[in-house]
């Protein structure tokens, strides 16, 4: 186990971070997919309003790579396709039917996955696969055993177990190992195809753009498609900030899915890195043997891009990949138990109605379900307060977003803001008294100043976890010198947001870098090297 | 506070686009943001932002300069009364108010004229009045002798703000430190007001009518007529700064001591000189405050001190004239002249300094090196800090270029 030390991180402690306790949310009335939130995708709609869809019906696909389809997280009627400025598809909202059915195509994929995974019998998976004290069934269970022939009738048995409030789990005991599928028959190419068909390939994000991995199109000598393995896959158990779900809560009782997921990743890459935050290590005894690296507990120590920067040996590892731990669990459940897991654990923080905690809810749940009613002048930031989005209250949780933070968002001015001692004001600098104590601080969405020209103070560089010089990068990009910016390491930027956060001139450094990376990616897609 | 806020809210529409007073929006905006720091809600990630902004950043430099400024005022009064041989009779407030009455007009003119240009450019260009002037407007007077004519202060700050800063695009885009640009302008345009021996202290009329630039001074400095004048009085009358001393024979330490410049005097600052430069103690206390709060780069300051110490030690060891600043040890070099003021407040101006950490060490060290070199081997300029910093200002883009290249070459390429 290696320790990765990172001196440059976000030091302030903030109020109202989520506690480890887990609450199960009610079943949502609507769920949604958010195409505009999916990185670097040019969506083409495959449904229209008033269409009936089932779980797994493709809702949209990527125009540039049509095999990437985004499947519906719920069954019911498409009640709204919300368009934003310039006809960007913002949300596809589905009203959930009481009787949710699964798409036939997805059922076939599940049975294919189950039959290819060479599994010894495991009866447990069939019986305990459904969680949640929800009144309606949500996740669809599928026994992974191959002892019975794959049939649609059996696969369609949507579990109606509504009693147990335990998280979906194989009861990870001593017998877990012998019952687990070994996936020996699965080639990387099989896994790739199955994941694509199940709409799960999008879970794997590839550096340096954190876009959906565009791997696997190579052909071997015989002309057969061959999967090019990733140089490295990084699983950071807490890839988000202080408001992201705690690995101890997420992994509780799901160790077996975790190992299954890692086994699948092991097929896709010779090197799977599992990084755990140091403060969580005492709670992660059960999976300790899988952990390869221990990182700090502050943002952005757990950011997979930062971990990659710290451990990469040469530039061949730049195209490594990463997967969110909860997606990894879903992957493990899918291949190990044939369970198409539609639930995620969301961390809720900030001034949310109840105390900050973890909430188990459907993928794409409405924000109001997750956060409860908002206090006046407050907004919701989903994803992460450093990298996420400022969501509208009527919006839904997006793909890849695992936390929702209710943040103070009122317009205000500070009287004599440049002179106050500031014992309660959040700052990474030492110019406020708050730097003297470690008490959790209030935080808000305000800019705390006006935008100015860069004064070259270098605060951004002193916070950059990947040792970039954001002030010089910003100037190079402002002058249109993309080559120079690339040479200075633009693509190492993980968009962690610390530079923008601390900039005294309030320059949107992160935004500038993100836009530059996007421009470069789009150029690369159109003119591949 | 509340009434003020209501007042601003009432006035607001008049200054907005289309209002009758729109052309004065710059003044209005600057005043309003002075009282109420704006804090709009940001809509893009990251959603939490640090409370530190440029206004506070610059205010901290001013905060660190306040003791230096107040002491400067006191010292001007002190020198005045010691020339009258009445420093013991005069009370603290008498001394201070005498000095303040000399220094405050300089500061007011500097700020007033500076703000005029700043607001003019901001209004024409349609951007906000920036905070850099707060520092420039105070730093510039501190580098001036107390006897400077006010019209020269106005001319100097105009040059510093317009040529040194605004034609490049304002704070953040300037190549040179505006305060030092302003001082260099005075230095080369009106050398009589800012160099020589007669300008560093405010003389009482009865003393200044005596011949102080002729024989008395020369002889006094030679230590010949020490019996004629008591030490303090002589020092006061000569009005020379420590850096102007030095001769072919004897030892520099002895010369300085005879002229009243013991290390202690130089360190605490009760001697003639530019308004803000005399107290090494207060300058470095301010520097420590700025280094602690990370507003100033400790790399530049420590690099500069290291540069002075190393260079002066080497020169001290070399065979050379023992009577000039060539042979003065590190302590004398650190404590005399404007080095402490320059390295703490001018060299650490982040805009005109390099942006990389290594670059800042190099930059600071070379400022220290050049300062000592100019003092020791260039007889034309007794004070080297201003020229050293301006020279290194010109070099900082080059230092950045090289250090960034080196840093980039160490990265694992990612394209």
Contacts by B23-26, CB closer than 8 A, 24 or more apart: B23/B123, B24/B123, B25/B123, B26/B119, B26/B122, B26/B123, B26/B128, B26/B129
Q: Please give, rounded to a whole number of angstroms, the shortest distance from the CA of A440 to a CA of chain B.
A: 14
Interface list for B 49-78 with A (CB within 8 A)? 49-57, 59-60
Sign of the Cα torsion B142, B148, B149, B151 reads: negative
Residue with tokens 């289309």: B18
Distance of alpha carbon B268 from alpha carbon B256, whole angstroms: 15
Q: Is the pLDDT of residue B250 over 90?
A: no
pLDDT at residue A218, as a whole number: 60
Residue B71 lies in a domain: no
Interface list for B 110-129 with A (CB within 8 A)? 128
Whether residue B43 lies within 8 A of chain A, CB to CB, comes out as yes
Of A333-342, B242-251, B379-388, the range with the highest mean pLDDT is A333-342
Q: Do B51 and A422 touch (CB under 8 A)?
A: yes
pLDDT at residue B105, as a whole number: 96
Residue with tokens 């003021």: B341
Of A387, A418, A447, nearest to B45 by CB-CB distance is A387
pLDDT at residue B248, as a whole number: 63
Q: Is the pLDDT of residue A26 over 70?
A: yes
A403 closest CA partner among A354, A440, A356, A333: A356
pLDDT band at B247 (very low <50, low <70, confident <90, very high): low
Kind of pairing between the strands at A76-83 and A52-53 = antiparallel
Average pLDDT of chain A, as a whole number: 82
Q: Is the peptide bond before B195 cis (omega within 30 degrees of 0)?
A: no
Whether residue B130 lies within 8 A of chain A, CB to CB, comes out as yes
Whether residue B357 lies within 8 A of chain A, CB to CB, comes out as yes
Residue with tokens 């934003």: A84
Residue A40's region, left for phi above 0, alpha for psi from -120 to 50, else beta, is left
Residue percentage of chain A with pLDDT more than 90: 45
Of A231-235, A350-354, B199-203, B265-269, the range with the highest mean pLDDT is A231-235
pLDDT at residue A176, as a whole number: 40
Distance of alpha carbon A411 from alpha carbon A317, whole angstroms: 45
pLDDT at residue B243, as a whole number: 80
Read off the tokens for A301.
């120590």
Give the start-to-end residue ranges of the domains of chain A. 450-526
Q: Do B293 and A418 touch (CB under 8 A)?
A: no
Q: In chain B, what residues touch A457 (CB-CB under 8 Å)?
A: 57, 350
Contact A381, A437 (CB under 8 A): no
Q: Do A455 and B173 touch (CB under 8 A)?
A: no
Whether residue B10 lies within 8 A of chain A, CB to CB, comes out as no
Chain B residue with Cα closest to A442:
B48
Distance of alpha carbon A436 from alpha carbon A439, whole angstroms: 9
- Give the pLDDT mean for B240-251: 73
Q: Is the pLDDT of residue B221 over 70?
A: no
Q: In chain B, what residues touch A388 (CB-CB under 8 Å)?
A: 45, 47
Q: Do B56 and A431 touch (CB under 8 A)?
A: yes
pLDDT at residue B321, as a whole number: 79
Q: Is the pLDDT of residue B16 over 60?
A: yes
Q: In chain B, what residues touch A461 (CB-CB under 8 Å)?
A: 355-357
pLDDT at residue A162, as a whole number: 32
Chain B residue with Cα closest to A450:
B38
B278 closest CA partner among B236, B330, B337, B229: B337
Of B47, B51, B131, nearest to A445 by CB-CB distance is B47
pLDDT at residue B60, as a whole number: 93
In terms of Cβ atoms closer than 10 Å to its own Cβ (0-12, 13-18, 19+), residue A15 is: middle
Distance of alpha carbon A281 from alpha carbon A115, whole angstroms: 36
Q: Is the pLDDT of residue B303 over 80?
A: yes
- Give the pLDDT mean for B280-305: 95
pLDDT at residue B109, as a whole number: 96
Q: Do A414 and B39 touch (CB under 8 A)?
A: yes
Q: Do A426 and B48 touch (CB under 8 A)?
A: yes
Choose between A295 and A338: higher pLDDT. Answer: A295
pLDDT at residue A152, as a whole number: 35
B201 closest CA partner among B79, B72, B380, B109: B79
Q: Do B51 and A318 touch (CB under 8 A)?
A: no
Read off the tokens for B96.
């201070």
Distances (CA, A) of B40 to A413, A443, B205: 8, 14, 57
pLDDT at residue A122, as a whole number: 41
Choose between A100 and A502: higher pLDDT. Answer: A502
Mutation site for B-interface testing, chosen from A13, A305, A431 by largest number of B Cβ within 10 Å: A431
- Give the pLDDT mean for A3-27: 90
Chain B residue with Cα closest to A513:
B45
pLDDT at residue A111, as a whole number: 83
Q: Establish whether this prediction's ipTM goes over 0.90.
A: no
Q: In chain B, what residues touch A446 (CB-CB under 8 Å)?
A: 39-42, 49
Report the alpha-carbon angle A235-A405-A365, nearest 5: 75
Q: Could you read off the pLDDT of A385-442 as tens digits, one per residue? A: 999 988 888 899 988 899 999 998 887 777 777 788 888 888 999 999 988 888 899 8
Of A415, A447, A495, nearest to B49 by CB-CB distance is A447
* DSSP-derived secondary structure letter, A436: G
Interface list for B 175-234 with A (CB within 8 A)? none
Give the number of domains in chain B.
1
Q: In chain B, what residues touch A428 (CB-CB under 8 Å)?
A: 50, 52
pLDDT at residue A117, as a whole number: 65
Q: Is the pLDDT of residue B158 over 60?
A: yes
Q: In chain B, what residues touch A422 (CB-CB under 8 Å)?
A: 51
pLDDT at residue A128, as a whole number: 37
Q: In chain A, what residues touch B292 (CB-CB under 8 Å)?
A: 430
Q: In chain B, what residues touch A511 (CB-CB under 8 Å)?
A: 44-45
Residue B42 lies in a domain: no
pLDDT at residue A120, as a whole number: 41
Residue B275 lies in a domain: yes
A59 closest CA partner among A73, A70, A51: A70
Contact A66, A114 (CB under 8 A): no
Q: Do A431 and B52 touch (CB under 8 A)?
A: yes
pLDDT at residue A168, as a whole number: 41
Q: Could you read off the pLDDT of A445-466 as tens digits, one per residue? A: 888 888 889 999 999 999 999 9
Rounded (10°) CA dihedral A348, A354, A360, A364: -60
User: What values do phi and psi take at A35, rounded to 5?
Assistant: -60, -35
What contacts A82, CB < 8 A, 6 or more positions away?
Answer: A89, A90, A91, A92, A93
Q: Could you read off the pLDDT of B346-385 as tens digits, one per residue? A: 999 999 999 999 999 999 999 999 999 998 887 777 788 9
Q: In chain A, what residues touch B41 (CB-CB under 8 Å)?
A: 379, 409-411, 445-447
Distances (CA, A) of A10 to A426, A465, B82, B190: 11, 10, 54, 51
Interface list for B 280-309 with A (CB within 8 A)? 292-295, 297
Q: Do A456 and B355 touch (CB under 8 A)?
A: yes
Contact A402, A347 (CB under 8 A): yes
Residue B237 lies in a domain: no
Domain of B385, in residue numbers? 245-407
Q: Please give, rounded to a whole number of angstroms, the shortest distance from the CA of A74 to a CA of chain B.
A: 29
Q: How many CB atoms lie within 10 A of CB A498?
A: 28
Which of A189-198, A254-263, B195-204, B247-256 is least confident? B247-256
Of B45, B351, B357, nearest to A456 by CB-CB distance is B351
Which of A221-235, B15-29, B79-93, B99-113 is least confident? B15-29
Residue B48 lies in a domain: no
Average pLDDT of chain B, as a whole number: 85
Q: In chain B, what residues touch A386 (CB-CB under 8 Å)?
A: 45-48
Q: Is the pLDDT of residue A124 over 60?
A: no
pLDDT at residue A131, as a whole number: 40
What order do you get walking across the sheet with A389-391 strand by strand? A22-24, A357-362, A343-350, A403-408, A378-382, A389-391
């Amino acid at each position: 186990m290696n320790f990765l030390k990172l001196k440059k991180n976000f030091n302030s402690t903030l109020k109202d971070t989520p506690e480890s306790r887990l609450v199960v949310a009610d079943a949502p009335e609507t769920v949604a997919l958010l195409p505009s939130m999916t990185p670097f995708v040019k969506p083409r709609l495959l449904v229209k309003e008033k269409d009936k869809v089932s779980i797994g019906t493709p809702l949209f696909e990527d125009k540039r790579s049509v095999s990437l389809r985004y499947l519906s997280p719920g069954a019911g009627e498409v009640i709204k396709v919300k368009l934003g400025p310039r006809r960007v598809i913002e949300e596809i909202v589905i009203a959930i039917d009481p009787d949710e059915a699964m798409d036939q195509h997805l059922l076939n994929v599940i049975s294919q996955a189950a039959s290819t995974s060479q599994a010894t019998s495991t009866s447990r998976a069939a019986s305990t696969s459904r969680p949640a004290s929800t009144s309606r069934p949500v996740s669809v269970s599928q026994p992974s055993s191959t002892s019975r022939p794959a049939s649609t009738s059996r696969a369609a048995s949507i579990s109606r177990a509504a009693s147990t409030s335990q998280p979906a789990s194989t009861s990870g005991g001593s017998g877990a190992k012998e019952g687990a599928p070994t996936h020996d028959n699965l080639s990387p190419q099989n896994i790739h195809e199955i994941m694509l068909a199940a709409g799960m390939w999008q879970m794997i994000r590839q550096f340096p753009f954190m876009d959906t991995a565009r791997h696997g199109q190579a052909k071997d000598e015989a002309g057969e498609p061959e999967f090019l393995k990733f140089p490295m896959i990084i699983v950071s158990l807490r890839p988000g900030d202080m408001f992201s779900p705690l690995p101890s809560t997420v992994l509780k009782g799901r160790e077996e899915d975790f190992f299954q997921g890692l086994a699948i990743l092991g097929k896709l890459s010779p090197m799977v890195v599992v990084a755990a935050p140091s403060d969580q290590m005492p709670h992660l005894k059960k999976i300790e043997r899988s952990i390869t690296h221990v990182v700090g507990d502050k943002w952005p120590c757990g950011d997979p891009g930062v971990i990659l920067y710290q451990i990469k040996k040469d530039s061949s590892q730049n195209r490594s990949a990463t997967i969110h731990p909860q997606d990894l669990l879903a992957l493990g459940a899918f291949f190990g138990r044939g369970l198409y897991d539609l639930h995620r654990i969301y961390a809720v923080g900030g001034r949310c109605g109840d105390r900050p905690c973890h909430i188990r809810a459907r993928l794409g749940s409405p924000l109001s379900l997750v956060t409860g009613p908002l206090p006046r002048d407050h907004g919701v930031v989903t994803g992460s307060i450093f990298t996420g989005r400022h969501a509208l209250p009527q919006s839904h949780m997006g793909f890849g977003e695992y936390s929702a933070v209710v943040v103070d968002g009122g317009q205000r001015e500070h009287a004599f803001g440049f002179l106050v001692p500031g014992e309660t004001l959040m700052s990474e600098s030492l110019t406020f008294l708050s730097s003297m104590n470690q008490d959790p601080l209030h935080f808000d969405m305000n800019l705390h100043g006006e935008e100015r020209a860069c004064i070259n103070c270098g605060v951004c560089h002193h916070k950059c976890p990947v040792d970039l010089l954001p002030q010089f990068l910003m100037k190079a990009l402002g002058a249109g010198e993309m080559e120079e910016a690339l040479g200075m390491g633009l693509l190492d930027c993980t968009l962690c947001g610390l530079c923008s956060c601390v900039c005294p001139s309030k320059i949107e450094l992160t935004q500038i870098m993100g836009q530059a990376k996007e421009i470069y990616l789009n150029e690369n897609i159109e003119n591949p090297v | 506070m509340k009434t003020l806020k209501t007042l601003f809210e009432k006035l607001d529409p008049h200054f907005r686009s289309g209002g009758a007073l729109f052309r004065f929006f710059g003044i209005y905006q600057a005043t309003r943001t002075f009282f109420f720091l704006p804090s709009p809600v940001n809509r893009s990630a990251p959603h939490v932002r640090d409370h530190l902004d440029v206004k506070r950043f610059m205010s901290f430099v001013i905060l660190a300069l306040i003791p230096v400024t107040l002491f400067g005022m006191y010292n001007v009064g002190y020198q005045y009364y010691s020339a009258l041989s009445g420093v013991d009779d005069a009370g603290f407030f008498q001394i201070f108010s005498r000095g303040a009455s000399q220094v405050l007009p300089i500061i007011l003119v500097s700020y007033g004229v500076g703000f005029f240009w700043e607001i003019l450019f901001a209004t024409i260009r349609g951007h906000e009045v920036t905070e850099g002037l707060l520092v420039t407007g105070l730093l510039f007077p501190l580098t001036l002798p107390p006897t400077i004519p006010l019209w020269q202060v106005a001319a100097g700050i105009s040059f510093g703000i317009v040529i040194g800063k605004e034609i490049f695009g304002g704070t953040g885009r300037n190549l040179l430190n505006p305060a030092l640009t302003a001082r260099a302008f005075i230095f080369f345009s009106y050398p009589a007001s800012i160099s020589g021996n007669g300008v560093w202290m405010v003389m009482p009329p009865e003393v200044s009518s005596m011949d102080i630039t002729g024989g008395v001074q020369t002889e006094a400095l030679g230590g010949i007529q020490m019996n004629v004048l008591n030490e303090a009085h002589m020092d006061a009358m000569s009005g020379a700064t420590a850096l102007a001393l030095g001769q072919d024979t004897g030892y520099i330490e002895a010369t300085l001591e005879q002229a009243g410049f013991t290390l202690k005097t130089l360190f605490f600052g009760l001697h003639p000189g530019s308004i803000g430069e005399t107290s090494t103690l207060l300058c470095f206390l301010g520097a420590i405050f700025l280094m602690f709060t990370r507003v100033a780069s400790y790399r530049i300051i420590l690099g500069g001190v290291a540069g002075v110490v190393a260079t002066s030690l080497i020169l001290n060891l070399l065979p050379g004239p023992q009577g000039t600043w060539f042979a003065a040890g590190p302590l004398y070099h650190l404590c005399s002249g404007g080095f402490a003021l320059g390295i703490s407040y001018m060299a650490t101006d982040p805009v005109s300094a390099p942006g990389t950490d290594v670059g800042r060490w190099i930059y600071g060290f070379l400022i220290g090196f050049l300062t000592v070199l100019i003092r020791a081997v260039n007889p034309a300029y007794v004070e080297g800090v201003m020229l050293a910093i301006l020279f290194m200002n010109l070099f900082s883009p080059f230092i950045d270029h090289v250090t960034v290249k080196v840093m980039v070459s160490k990265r694992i390429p990612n394209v």
